[in-house]
Amino acid sequence: MDTILRATAGYFILLLVVRVLARRAGSQMTLFEFVLVFLIGGVIILATLGPDRSVTNCTCAVIAVASLHRFVSWAKSRSPRIGAIVDGTPIVIVQGGEWREDVLKGMGVRREGVVAAARMHGIGSSSDIQYAVLERNGGITVMTRS
């Protein structure tokens, strides 16, 4: 019982922390962010299991977390609002060639990151970027002037 409650608390605390961290923690994970994810994950594991390190307890914790994840996924599929809260919405960084500074600041995204994404799309100059969209998964989609 305790394990299920601790796993539930741990899951939602972790979800909140990861959500309020910069979105790019998802797909463009740097070594620095790997350290963060593993450290937070390790700390949550300690709190979830408590002093009971038995196979039974670990199995219950894993099943509880998996079930919670399934439940949140189901809730996301049923409600776009929950999807937006959990995953966020795509957001335009460059619109019609104009950089949206408030979005860059709000999302903690640097221009260099967008230009790097543009290079991956074969775009050599930032002046060629017509639209750049920060996707839910942290990836940046770049479109050029047609």
Which spans of this chain sit near other proteins (rule: CB under 8 A)?
Answer: 16, 20, 50-51, 80-81, 83-84, 88-92, 95-96, 103, 106, 131, 133, 143
Output 16 or 66, the one with its CB closest to other proteins: 16
Mind spelling out the 3-state secondary structure of the chain?
Answer: CHHHHHHHHHHHHHHHHHHHCCHHHCCCCCHHHHHHHHHHHHHHHHHHHCCCCCHHHHHHHHHHHHHHHHHHHHHHHHCHHHHHHHHCCCEEEEECCEECHHHHHHHCCCHHHHHHHHHHCCCCCHHHEEEEEECCCCCEEEEECC
> CB of residue 66 vs other proteins: minimum separation in angstroms?
23
> CB of residue 140 vs other proteins: minimum separation in angstroms?
12
> CB of residue 80 vs other proteins: minimum separation in angstroms?
5
Output 68 or 143, the one with its CB closest to other proteins: 143
